[in-house]
Amino acid sequence: MSTDSPVNSPDKSESSLGKRLRNFLVVMVAIALSVALVLGLRTETTSATLAKLSDTSIPLNVAVSNGKPSLVEFYADWCTVCQKMAPDIAQLETEYADKMNFVMLNVDNTKWLPEMLKYRVDGIPHFVFLSKQGETIAQAIGDQPRTIMASNLEALVTGSSLPYAQASGKVSKFSAPVAPTANQDDPRTHGSQVVN
């Protein structure tokens, strides 16, 4: 054995202690970051749910008769778009709660079948904007960005026309004559044209 490189030299034990300390710090930082990530993801989950929105919803019969404009949302608990929009709707409800009604109608409840037929609900979420008198102003279907919903609600509250109103479909203007016209080509008189 040579005396130049002893096995248990003080330099080697110090570097071993430094490595252990460094590894311990790395493990502690990794644990701290993992805990922070888990807690961060937990707090990021939305506190606004469809069930909470439904619980705070104004009944439809009250909404159409209390003199405030209303936003009626047809939804379902299983609807992923409805779930995605719940935080935005909850935020808008907080912002406009004193100015208008927010009504939630679950399409899985057959109690709302007459309303689903009346508003022709064929996709969800289906939003119906009602005037202060309870008359339909506009409808929107599907995912609506929060800014568009906020603009529509602001217009609804102020009584202005909705900037992002989506009509159910375009119609042609038609005006029927008030009195029938005398016309010889009336198809009901085809018997008078037959000659024996």
Distance CA 2, CA 9 (A): 13
Q: From the CB of residue 80, how many other CB atoms can be counted at a distance below 10 Å?
A: 9
For residues 140 and 164, what is the distance between their CA atoms, to the nearest angstrom? 9
> Residue 89 is encoded by which pair of tokens?
């709707």
Catalytic residue among 63, 72, 79, 86: 79
Residue 193 phi/psi, 5° resolution? -90, -10
Catalytic site residue 82?
Answer: yes
Annotated catalytic residue, options 60, 71, 82, 89: 82
Count of CB atoms situated within 10 Å of the CB of 11: 8
Annotation marks residue 79 as catalytic: yes
Place of tokens 């003080």: 10
Residue 132 contacts residue 68 (beta carbons within 8 Å): yes
Cis status, amide bond into 180, omega within 30 of 0? no
Q: How far apart are CA 78 and CA 180, in angstroms?
A: 54
Report which residue type is found at 128: V
Q: What residues act catalytically?
A: 79, 82
